[in-house]
Chains A and B, each alone.
Chain A
Amino acid sequence: MFKAVLADSRVWKSIIESVSTLVDEGVFVADPSGIKLRAMDPSRVAMVDLDLPKGAFESYECSGEVPIGVNFEDMKNVMRRAGSNEKLEIEKGEDEARLKMRLRGKTTRTFSLPLLDTGKEELSVPRIPFNVTVKAPASTITEAIKDAEVVSDFVRMSVEDGQMKITASGDRGEVEVVITKESGELLSVEVKEPSQALYSLNYLSKMMTAASLAEIVAIMFSKEMPLRLDFNLSSGGKIVYYLAPRMESE
C-alpha cells in the first residue's frame, strides 16, 4: 500500500517533465522513507537520480518497498490536465496493476494509469572525483546554454581563477559566457584543480528543464569525467543528473 499527497500538483508535473526529458519510462521505488527513481537515457550518455523524501509530501504512507513502473508520456498527459490550486494524490493499492492519480480542486478527478513491468536494471550511482564544484542561479546557466546552442552542439565548461567560463565553437561561430563572483552570479566556487571538459548541449539543455523546480544549480565536473548537476527542489527533495563527457576531437 502506497499513498502520497502533494500540496501542489504542478510540482509533480515539473518533476515528471524533468525526468521524461531523458527517459520514456522508468520505475519509481517508494519505501517508507520516500520515493526514488534512477534511470539512464537509452543512449546511455546521461542519467537522472530523483530523491523525494517523505518530507516533500503533505502526507505520505508506504508499507514496504513498492515499485511503480510508468510510461512518462502517459503520466505527463494526465498532469497536463492539472489546474492551479489542485492537490495531487498518488495511490497504489496492494496487488493493484494500476496507479491512481487524483486531482483535488473544485472537483475531484481520478485517473488510473496502467503500470509497466518492473524488470529494469538496478543502477548504482557513479563515484566520480570532482575537481570543481560551482553554484549558480539555474536561470543563469539556462541562458548560457542557450547562448552556446546558437553556435554549436557541444559546450566547454571551465573553471579557473575563481570564474566560470562556458564556451562553444563550431561552423556557426564562437561564443564565450563568463560568470564571475563579482557580478553575483557565481554563488560559490570550490576548485581542487582548475578543470575544463566538453559536454553535449542537447543533453544539457534537457537537464535544465529542472530549473523550474530549483533556484540554484550546483555543477560538478573534472577533466574528461562526467558532469553532475544538482537541483535541490524548493518543494523538498533533489534531482541529480549525470552526463558523460565528450572527448576532444584532436
Chain B
Amino acid sequence: MYGWIGEILPAEAAGSVSTRALEVRSRHAPLCILCRGGRRLCGKAVCPIELKARALISNSGAVMRTELSGSSPPSVFVGRYGYPKVSIGPMVPPVYGDTSVMDVPESWLFESIPSIVNYRYSLVRGTARVEVDAARRGGRLVDSLQELSMGAAPADAEVTFAKPPAGRISIDDNSQPFGPSAPLKQFSISAVKVDHRIEKAFYDGDCLASEALYDLYNSGVEVSKLQRAFSMGVFGVQKNRRLVPTRWSITAVDSILSQRLIDEVKSYETIDKYQVYFWKHQHNTFAAILLPRAWSFEWMEAWFPGTFWNQEGISAAVEGDYEGYGGRKTYPGIGGCYFSCRLGVAEHLKSIRRQAAALVVREIMPEFPLPLGVWFVRENVRAMFRKPHNEFDDLPSALRHLGGLLRVPLGKWISKSTILRDSFLQRRMDEYFKAGGL
C-alpha cells in the first residue's frame, strides 16, 4: 500500500525515489487508505507515516546510492538481532559540517517532532556482522568504530555499501523512526577528535564499567555520549569487554547511573512535605508526586485511545512498574523508559540532597504522533524537575492538586499505583509506639 505515499508527497521528492523502495505498514490500513495523510482519521496531530516518509524521501536522493560521505555526528549503531553475533556500523548523514545535533537527544526536547524524525532518517547505517567479544579482540572496523564512538566532534566519513540502502525500508505508524541501512563494504574516517575523558577510561582495562560510567557522568559527559561509547564496549575490565546492542546500552547506562545516584540518595534525610511537579510538552503530560518517605520509585504511563500502544481501547490504558527501597530484580514490563525516568528522579533528589518516595506519571495524548525513544522520557522528566513545585502538608491535599492536573481520573491512578495504595493501606511501626496509645 505505498501508492498513496506518492500522491501526498511533493512531486520533486516523490520523483527522486522509487516508492517501491518503501514498505508501508499501518495498524489501521483501511483508515490510512481513506485518509492519505490528509484527514487525520487516526486522531494524531500529524500523520506518522507521512512524517517518516517525508523525512526519508527528502534524504533519499543523496542516500540511496552505494557511496556515501559526510560528517558522522559522531554516531554508531549496534543491532540486537542475532546476539551474540550482531550487526554494527557507523551512522553517517549525506552532509558535511557540524552534524553533532543529529545524535544528541539532550538537545532535542524543544525541537519539532518532524525535525527529530528528520535527524533519524538522515543517518544512514552501515552494517557488518561481528561477535560481541570483538570489542576486546579489536580489528580494523571495530577499532575505528570504537574511536568514532568516543568522538567529541563530528568526523568526516566515507562509506561504500554492498548495495544501495534501499530495497526494503519499512515505515509504519507505530514505531520509533529508524533510518535506512545497507551492508558495509568499505568504511574510512578522517582523524577523530576523541573525548579525552572517555579515552582515558578506554585505556583503563582494570576499571569496572559502572565505575567508569559514574566518574564520567560526574565529570559532565552527557548520558547519550556514554550510551554510545558503552555500546561499542570501550568501558570495563578488559577481559569482560563486549559490544552492547544500542537499545540495551541506552537502558544499561540509565540503569547503572540511576542506581549509583540512588545509593547516594539513600543516605540523605527525607523531604519534609509532599511535593507535586508538573510539565506539559508536545501532547504529553508528566507529573510527579514526591512523598516524605524512604526511597521507592514508580513510573506509570497512561496511553489514551488512539496512541500507539492503545489503538483500539475506549479508555486510557494505565501501566506501570515499581521498586521498593531494596530495588527490583526483574526487568520492568513497561520497558527501558522506567530507567530513563528513574535517572531523572535520582538526579533531582541528589541535587536537593534529600530522599523521597517518587511516583512519576505520564499521559500520552492521541495527538502525539509516534514514539521517539526513551530519551524523550528522560529529558521531559529532567525538564519537569527544573520547574517550581507545589508543597503540601498531607497526601490527600497533594493528590487533590495532582488530580486537577491530570486527565486520567485520580481514582484510576490510585488503584493502579503501588506507592499510593501503600501510603493509604500499609501501616508503619511508628504508629504503635505512641505514648499511652495502646
Report which A residues bind B (CB closer than 8 A): 40-47, 123-124, 126-129, 200, 202, 224-226, 242, 244-249
Kindly state whether residue B431 has any CB partner on chain A within 8 Å: yes
CB distance from B317 to the nearest CB of A (A): 16
The answer to whether B425 and A246 have CB atoms under 8 Å apart is yes
Q: A126–B293 Cα gap in the complex (Å)?
A: 21
A148 CA / B93 CA spacing, docked (Å): 56
Q: Is the CB of B295 within 8 A of A42?
A: yes
Question: Which residues of chain B are near A43, meaning CB under 8 Å?
Answer: 293-294, 296, 324-325, 428
**Contact between A129 and B438 (Cβ–Cβ < 8 Å)?**
yes
Chain A residues within 8 Å of B428, by CB: 43-45, 244
Q: A44 to B425: give the CA distance in the assembly, Å.
A: 14
Q: Is B433 an interface residue (CB 8 A)?
A: yes
Neighbour of A247 across the interface among B325, B424, B429, CB < 8 A: B424
Q: Which chain A residue has the least Cβ–Cβ distance from B434?
A: A126
- B91 → chain A, closest Cβ, in Å? 42
Tell me, rounded to whole Å, the shortest Cβ–Cβ distance linking A228 to chain B: 11
For the complex, give the distance between the alpha carbons of A226 and B432 in Å: 8
* 19 A-B pairs with C-beta separation under 8 A: A41-B325, A42-B295, A42-B325, A43-B293, A43-B294, A44-B294, A44-B429, A45-B427, A46-B429, A126-B432, A127-B438, A200-B426, A226-B427, A244-B427, A244-B428, A244-B429, A244-B432, A247-B424, A248-B425
Contact (A246, B438) CB under 8 Å given A43-B296, A128-B432: no
Instruction: Give 17 A-B pairs besides A202-B324, A244-B427, A246-B425 with Cβ atoms closer than 8 angstroms.
Output: A40-B429, A41-B325, A42-B325, A43-B325, A45-B428, A126-B429, A126-B433, A224-B427, A226-B427, A226-B429, A242-B429, A244-B428, A244-B429, A244-B432, A247-B427, A248-B425, A249-B421
B residues in contact with A40, CB < 8 Å: 429
What residue in chain A is nearest B325 (Cβ atoms)? Answer: A42
Shortest beta-carbon distance from B391 to chain A in Å:
22
CB distance A47 to B421 under 8 Å?
no
Size range of the interface on B? 10 to 19
Q: Are A245 and B429 in contact, with the CB atoms below 8 A?
A: no
A46: chain B residues at CB < 8 Å are 429
A47: chain B residues within 8 A (beta carbon) = 429
Kindly report which residue of chain A lies nearest to residue B438, judged by CB atoms. Answer: A127
Docked complex Cα distance between A242 and B438 (Å): 16
Q: How far is the CB of B427 from chain A (nearest CB, A)?
A: 4
Q: Report chain A residues within 8 Å CB of B430.
A: 44
Residues in chain B near residue A224, CB distance under 8 A: 427
How distant is B212 from chain A, measured CB to nearest CB, in Å? Answer: 23
Interface centre among A45, A129, A200, A248 (most CB of B within 10 A): A45
Contact indicator per residue, chain B 404-426, by CB within 8 Å of chain A (1) or not (0): 00000000000000000100111
